[in-house]
Amino acid sequence: MTRSSFVRVFGVGITCAMLGLALIPATAAAQQKLTLGIPGIPPVFAGTIGYVAEKEGFFKKRGVDVTVRAFETGAAASRAVASGEVAVSLSPTPLIVNQISNTDVKLVGIWGMEHPDWLIGATDPNADCASLKGGAVGVDSLGGARSIALRTMLLGCKMKIEEVQQVPLSSNVGAAMVAGQLKFGVLHIDDIPVIQAETKKPLKTIITQKSIRPVDHYLLLVAHQDQLAKNRDAYVRIVAALIDAERFMRNPANHEKVAKYAEPTGRSGEIAVQALKAFVDMEFWPKDKDGLGAKNLEMVGNIQKKVGNIKADKPAPYERIVDPSVWRDAKAMVDKK
């Protein structure tokens, strides 16, 4: 072999090796199996974004092997992240803010959903705030997302949580109301058409969380701080896949397909499409932003302190609760041509 031929062959070999090295981060991330925990059995509609990212192959596209797993509550999902059982979870923002403020649990938000859709519904068309006093109200679990939302909404009714009876039912509050076991429940907006279709009667909305608190926060995608530091690239790729999924869900041409992916939530067909349209309109899943608004999260902290859920002197600062840099890097990855 001549010197010039050797140089050409050697150069090609080096180039191929360099290309192989460039692929290592994505390959390594893909080989590591990760889990995204979502709240509710059956899951709440917010978790649909995870199913879309999984079923449409967005996680694989971004180089991570992620399985979506439903937990009984968002609180249970966050505990699984704290223990290292799962990589990330969609968990109630008030709960996470409380945990970080009170015990400095090593969780951090890397993406979020700023617009809660909570409401207190009643099967009695004549019900009002006064009717709630002493009544049984369906929630997910004591201290869970619906329970925390109930405490917040009762402020708008000038009532305290001790003035009602909480009935923990996981995601089955609507089913209990349809069965006539409960008159009142803390519900999502997609629960309304289901209850009305089953009971053949209109559902009375007593109060919504948005009506008393326009600036708010619903769910945080949380990671364990130590695991995020060790494997940051994988978390960036997870968030990139969720950005892909949100853009896919936003397109009306995909709504029938998304409705199919939403079947684990108990919503399917036209009801799922109706719910999806309502949620897209309210930017339930953040549209080209991280969903980590400082005003929103600070509002949650202040309210949780006011209602007595934060025992510390003051809520944890914004900088401790979230890490916006993960979304910034994920957005750059998605937008890269």
Do 270 and 235 reside in the same domain of the chain?
yes
pLDDT tens digits along 223-240: 999 999 999 999 999 999
pLDDT tens digits along 191-220: 998 999 999 999 999 999 988 888 999 999
- Distance between CA atoms of residues 276 and 48, nearest Å: 9
5 found inside a domain: no
Residues 6+ apart with CB under 8 A from 305: 101, 314, 315
Do 97 and 36 reside in the same domain of the chain?
yes
Do 59 and 111 reside in the same domain of the chain?
yes
User: Where in the sequence is the domain holding 155, given as residue range(s)?
Assistant: 119-212
Which pTM value belongs to this model? 0.82
pLDDT at 212: 86
Do 207 and 239 reside in the same domain of the chain?
no
pLDDT at 285: 98
CATH number of the CATH domain containing 161? 3.40.190.10
Do 131 and 106 reside in the same domain of the chain?
no
Residue type, 165: Q
pLDDT at 31: 56
Do 207 and 221 reside in the same domain of the chain?
no
15 found inside a domain: no
Q: Please report, for residues 17, 75, 140, 189, the alpha-carbon distance to residue 174 in angstroms, rounded to integers and kept in the order given.
A: 58, 20, 11, 11
Number of domains the chain contains: 2
pLDDT at 145: 86
Do 298 and 328 reside in the same domain of the chain?
yes
pLDDT at 322: 98
Do 203 and 59 reside in the same domain of the chain?
no
Task: Tell me 188's DSSP state.
Answer: -
Do 155 and 38 reside in the same domain of the chain?
no
245 found inside a domain: yes
11 found inside a domain: no
Residue where one domain finishes, among candidates 167, 195, 212 = 212
pLDDT at 22: 44
- Distance between CA atoms of residues 259 and 144, nearest Å: 27
Closest CA to 188 of 77, 308, 89, 272: 272
Do 228 and 314 reside in the same domain of the chain?
yes
**Strand segments (E) across the chain:** 33-39, 65-71, 88-92, 107-113, 119-122, 136-139, 165-168, 184-187, 204-208, 219-224
Residue where one domain finishes, among candidates 162, 183, 212 = 212
286 found inside a domain: yes
Residue where one domain finishes, among candidates 195, 212, 229 = 212
Residues 6+ apart with CB under 8 A from 270: 259
pLDDT at 171: 84
13 found inside a domain: no
Do 150 and 254 reside in the same domain of the chain?
no
Do 268 and 134 reside in the same domain of the chain?
no
pLDDT at 67: 98
2 found inside a domain: no
pLDDT tens digits along 103-116: 999 999 999 999 99
Q: Which residues of the chain have pLDDT under 70?
A: 1-31, 337
pLDDT at 307: 85
325 found inside a domain: yes
Contact of 290 with 327, CB cutoff 8 Å: yes
pLDDT at 330: 98
